[in-house]
Amino acid sequence: MNDTIVNILAECLEALDRGEITIEECQQRYPQYQEELKYLLLLSKYIKAAPDVTPSPVFRHAASTRMNNLIKNQISLQKNQQSDRSRQHARKAKDRVTVRRHSIPRILVTAIVVIGLLFGGTVSTAAASSDSLPGDTLYPVKTSIEDIKLVFADDEGDVELNVQYAQNRVEEMQALVEANRYDDIPIAVQRYEHNIADLAQAMAILSANDPARAEAHANLLEAARANRTEVLTGLLDKVPDQAKKGIQRALEAGPPDHAGGPPEGKGPPDHAPGPPEDKGKPDSTDVP
């Protein structure tokens, strides 16, 4: 491609558009391309002079009407689809609320888990429940499995498991905050308080039965407590006011008195907070 003629043609066309030059003048300015310029510029003039092409009035009117109808039909269709989606969402939300309100009774879940563990039939359910969060349908399965493990643990195992479970609760609270599921935080807090109370009791029993092992766990417990406090304090800055109260309660639930003597009875030590007065989940948690 000859760049020179390309640019000369473009330059002449622009000058012609501005009315600054005629075809003849352009030819004279570039005599070496005189012939080619003449034909190409005349052709461009011929194309420009072509009568305007416009849609016929009949087509214009008919097309406008058809376009209007198509758009109206589409808008109507989209509105119907949106309406259908809204109804579906509402139905799903209602279903979720129903599932939560009629959650599987804890005793039944425990029974299912026990039977399942005995007969090996609920391995997949148990595995699936491990990632569940407070408020999820499988969450009671997760906590029931934890309870069952405690039944079969020795004194030292009790301490270690309760430390681990308390940590699980803190991680659940973190996950709930990240998922903006603030309404489910009280469930985790309630369970956390339960774990801390159990930990205090387990530590008291271990101290009575094996002071040396209890002493060996002291540093572990302190490190775990410091970690939980740090995480919970961090969460306080991230949650809205309605969730702060729960996190604050969790902060006040520890640490257990791991240096304390043996418990006087089977109940939790005096300093351990008892279960919250409201054993059920707040109503607001029923709303997804």
Partner 1 sequence: MKPSSTDTSEDVLLHKVIQGDSQAFGVLYELYLDKIYRYVFYRVSDQVDVEDLTEIIFFKAWQSLVNIQKNDSPIQNFRAWLYGIAHNEVVNHHRNKTSEVPLDDSKNLPDQTPSPEKIVEVQERNRLLAKAISQLDPDSQQVLIFRFIDQFSHDDTAEIMGRTPGHIRVLQHRALKKLLSILMKERQKNE
Residues that bind partner 1 (CB under 8 A): 1, 5-7, 9-10, 13-14, 17, 39-40, 43-44, 46-48, 50-56, 59-60, 63-64, 66-68, 70-72, 74-75, 78
Residue pair 202/214 in contact by the 8 Å Cβ criterion: no
User: Least distance (Å) from partner 1 to the CB of residue 201?
Assistant: 53
Please, which residue, 64 or 242, has the CB nearer to partner 1? Answer: 64
CA–CA separation, 214 vs 227, rounded Å?
20
User: Least distance (Å) from partner 1 to the CB of residue 5?
Assistant: 7
Please, which residue, 60 or 91, has the CB nearer to partner 1? Answer: 60
Please, which residue, 39 or 152, has the CB nearer to partner 1? Answer: 39
User: Least distance (Å) from partner 1 to the CB of residue 55?
Assistant: 5
DSSP-assigned states of every residue in 68-116:
HHHHHHHHHHHHHHHHHHHHHHHHHHHHHHHHHHTPPPHHHHHHHHHHH
User: Least distance (Å) from partner 1 to the CB of residue 137?
Assistant: 32
User: Least distance (Å) from partner 1 to the CB of residue 84?
Assistant: 17
Contacts 24+ apart (CB under 8 A), 248-255: 249/189, 249/193, 249/276, 250/169, 250/170, 250/173, 250/188, 250/189, 250/192, 250/193, 253/192, 253/193, 253/196, 253/197, 254/166, 254/196, 254/225, 254/228, 254/229, 255/221, 255/222, 255/225
Please, which residue, 57 or 265, has the CB nearer to partner 1? Answer: 57
Please, which residue, 79 or 271, has the CB nearer to partner 1? Answer: 79
User: Least distance (Å) from partner 1 to the CB of residue 254?
Assistant: 44
Which of 158, 124, 117, 152 lies closest to 138 in space, CA to CA? 124
Please, which residue, 70 or 216, has the CB nearer to partner 1? Answer: 70
